[in-house]
Structure 1
Amino acid sequence: MYNKFAKIVIIAILIFIIPNSVSAFDKSNLLNNLIKYSYPEIKVLEKDKTQRESNTKETQHYNQKNSQYINVYVGEENIPTINTEVNSDINLKSDVYSQNLRITNDKPEILIYHSHSCETYLDSPEGNYHSEDKEHSVMSVGCLLTNELSSLGWGVAHSTTYHDSPTYNNSYARSSQTIKSAMNKYNSIKITIDLHRDGLNIANEAVKTNIHNKYTTTINGQKVAKFFFVVGARNDDVAEVKKLADGITEYANKKYPDLIMPVVVKPYGRFNQSICDNALLVEVGSNGTTSDEAQASAKYLAEILDGYFKEKHI
């Protein structure tokens, strides 16, 4: 740990002391070599000749267990611009979220939480779309979904506890404690929603465009992110979990046919879906959609959930 920290400090110092007389191309080559020498487990990818000539180099570290990777951008010209605009309806401050929890009713019926709280959208690329930028993350969508469901008469508890920071490993084990704690405190909770966004490898601009087109649609003239439900096949009650996801998907298709994508069943997962009788894992958009597009989906997702649960008397 200390050796890696020392390497990072050395690299940071060298970045500032490299003479201005050294060309930008030579600086980038030097920095890439420093990264590869210091971290042999990191692979530097040069995607094409044009990219090499323009000195646009990206380093990826791929963690096979969690399918995560980290981008290291060399040169200021290669760092994506972060959108700093925030929807005025999003308030994730500590005075609203006491101990990372906001309650809209003394007897909340729905718990919204995020096993992967650091998942951010296209306009917040820091940390390869994983950071504590709450306002451009799945937390912001959770906040708006809380607002929308509350306006429809539901009592909602929304948790902004980080379950994947500082480490991604065991995120679901940590989020299970959040669920159990909330349900122990509020026995009125009968629905749990683990809100994520899908994650894909955005290798280049063409891939980014394809992902964006796949995960967005237009409703009432507004571009919104599509969403879908995920079912963990390792749940003892997987049939009931899938029945719920299929039921909501069918209901959504009748109202907004192009808004919802098919249910995904993951054979290796549990996703804490046995803790509550009505457990949902929903992916709203992806890292190829913007936070505005994902946030715009919240009112439609709320409308669909409200209509389905009331129709089924849940």
Structure 2
Amino acid sequence: MRKGQGQWPRLLRRGVALFLATVTVWVLSLTADTGSAASALRTLAESPAFVSAALRAELGNLPEDQAASDSLTGWQRLILSQSPALMAGAGEGTASAPEEAEPQATPSAPVEPDDPEDPEVLPAVTTAPEDIVGRTLVPVSGDGYASAQGVYIENRPGLDLDVAALASAQLTLELPEEGPQVLIMHTHGSEAYTPDGTDTYVPTGECRTLDTTKNVVRVGDEIAKVLTEMGLTVVHDTELYDYPEYNGAYDRSLAAVRTWLEQYPSIRVVMDVHRDALVGEDGTIYKPITTVNGEQAAQVMLVMGSNALYDHPHWQENLSLAVKLQKEMNTLWPTLARPIGLRENRYNQQTTTGSLLVEIGAHGNTLQEALAAARMFARAAGAVLLEYT
């Protein structure tokens, strides 16, 4: 084809484009004010039919399928790529949107900060409230306690206690060489600590979370790690028995402990790891805290059951084990342990003669303070338990 023979179709297409532009100007002249004119122009310009007609008039007939688009010149493909309406028509007759284009190297928009009102959005870093009051809880006298050899017991049931005899008592505890020896579990596994630093979590209640990397299950991991390194064989039950229903948690955890003991008859020691909650009458939140070799650590409290309300024939042997652990903690870190709490309930400790309820810190502590305490407690506990292997 000679050069001049393709001019008439091109002139005709451009004439159509000029006609469409004239229609646009005519629409503008009919509008009553500038705002209406702009609105009419936007409506017309954004119309897929208008865009298609204008570009088709300039480009000529488009290929019927995507493969035929290879016949377009470079500038035709460039114009075509700017029109979703035409790109939809360049496929297999569907009106689906085009595939997302490759991102361009343009400056990104500012990122909005996390929404603090959205519980599913976690800040990357947070700071514990400054109004939490830290206290190192150690007795200043023996008043109100049963005590001997530096061990203090808060005797709420008012039972007859000889702490010195408990400290020196021979235990029937014997850890077998084969199979798991220690079970760590959590009746209230969702208990967590005050968010601080990068230790943030989605709460399921006040200082509670299902995130087992941020609640007391994480503390149990730390205890299990240290005991294992010391040569003990440990099973860690990470099930949350207090969620979704808090009531009945001890019944559910009791069933679990019995299942573990049936599966592994070699288990002799059961540690139920919790954290405490300390709130004053005026609403002040307290945290039990100490400093060991320059490191902030939560304090540890052993809570022991008795036979004051229910049948618990071996409660004194459990308490004797707790006294021995307390003495070891006092020897290694004199301010790590709070006084032992003797209570009326059993806390499922009737299952073995080596059962303990261990409270690592309180809800005012941070996770890092609790983990530091967990490591120290585990070293003391491991030292005692290895005497019975």
TM-score normalized by structure 2? 0.51
Give, in whole Å, the separation in 2 of the partners of 1:230 and 1:84: 35
Correspondence 1:107 to 2:209: no
Q: Which residue of 1 aligns with 2:289?
A: 216
SS at match of 1:310: helix
Q: Does 1:270 align with 2:371?
A: no
- The match for 2:225 is 147
CA displacement, residues 232-277 of structure 1 (integer Å, 9 cap, x when unaligned): 123332212221111211221111100011100112x111101012
In 2, the alpha carbon distance for the partners of 1:199 and 1:247 equals 25
Equivalent residue number for residue 290 of structure 1: 366
Aligned-partner Cα distance in 2 for 1:158–1:136 = 16
1:224 Cα shift?
0.9
* Identical counterparts, % of pairs: 30
Gaps of 5+ in 1: 1-74, 86-104
SS of equivalent to 1:136: coil
Q: Which runs of 4+ in 1 moved over 6 A?
A: none
2:184 and 2:220 in contact (8 A); partners too? yes
* TM-score, reference length from structure 1: 0.63
In the alignment of these two chains, the number of paired residues is 213
Q: What is the Cα deviation at residue 109 of structure 1?
A: 0.6
How far apart, CA to CA, are the structure 1 residues paired with 2:223 and 2:280? Answer: 27
Superposition pairs for residues 145-294 of structure 1, below 5 Å? 145-201=223-279, 207-208=284-285, 211-212=286-287, 215-234=288-307, 235-267=312-344, 269-294=345-370
CA distance in 1, matches of 2:318, 2:224: 22
Which entry has the higher C-alpha Rg, 1 or 2? Answer: 2
Alpha carbons of 1:263 and 1:119: their partners in 2 closer, same or farther (altered >3 Å)? same
In structure 2, distance between residues paired with 1:290 and 1:183: 33
Distance in 2 between residues matched to 1:138 and 1:84, nearest whole Å: 21
C-alpha root-mean-square deviation of aligned residues, in Å? 2.6
Distance apart, 1:195 and its partner CA: 0.3
State the distance in 1 between where 2:218 and 2:296 align: 17
In structure 2, what is the Cα distance between the partners aligned to 1:195 and 1:152?
19
Q: Structure 1: how far apart are the matches of 2:252 and 2:289?
A: 31
Instruction: Give yes or no for the alignment of 1:308 onto 2:388.
Output: no
Q: Give the residue type in structure 1 aligned to 2:333.
A: Y
In structure 1, what residue type is equivalent to 2:295? Q
SS in 1 for 2:270: strand
